[in-house]
Amino acid sequence: MLRPHLDALVDRLRARTPLPEALQILADEIDDASADIIVAALILNAKLRGPGLRQVLGALAKSAREEVDMRQRVMAQRASTRRSVQIVVAVSIAFVLGLSIFNREFVEPYGTPVGQLVLAMVCALFALGFWWLRKLSTVETPDRFLVRDEPGVQFVRPRGPAATADQLQQPSPHPSQPGLPGYANSPEGVRR
């Protein structure tokens, strides 16, 4: 999984890309918050050339192992929650189908308008419960903190239908000028 990214890092270093820049590109390719911590330590050491990199990387490795262990425990626990949700859904559907097939008199009141309203409320409660159980079983990963803002790549909304291709491809002279299209404080907005 990491091998192609590390091979690309080696190629960039052989092509004389500065180490901090090559490491930043590696972090962007891996796109993981845990990898950002390690790459940030490497970038800091490459820029500052300070001592203690071995201790920092050792502590980060220990922390990463603990995080992986915790994630595995959480995933195992969430797998049991997902299995419980599947069982509840299957039993509920089987029960409703069984009642509608084998005991029509029991579900007959749901054919009236008031019965349809009660049935809609019951279905809404079930849907809310299933949504809540699904939310409990999702994994929230932390956001990356080592992101690079590339000023050369901007997607600007045109002012109107009369905007030409030349207007859309013009580079922005300076991002701090207010009120011009292509700037962060512009009314048109900027996507990066």
In the chain, what are the domain boundaries? 3-64, 74-136, 149-192
Q: Which amino acid is at 49?
A: R
Q: For the chain, how far is it from start to end, CA to CA, in angstroms?
A: 27
CA distance 75 to 137: 9
Give me the pLDDT at residue 120, please. 93
Q: Which residue, among 122, 114, 117, 129, has the nearest Cα to 96 in the 3D structure?
A: 122
- The C-alpha atoms of residue 4 and residue 30 are separated, in whole angstroms, by 10
pLDDT tens track for 116-175:
999 899 989 988 988 887 787 777 777 787 777 664 433 334 444 444 444 444 444 444
Phi, psi of 156 (to 5 degrees): -110, 135
According to DSSP, the β-strands at 155-156 and 190-191 are antiparallel
Residue 105 has pLDDT above 80, yes or no: yes
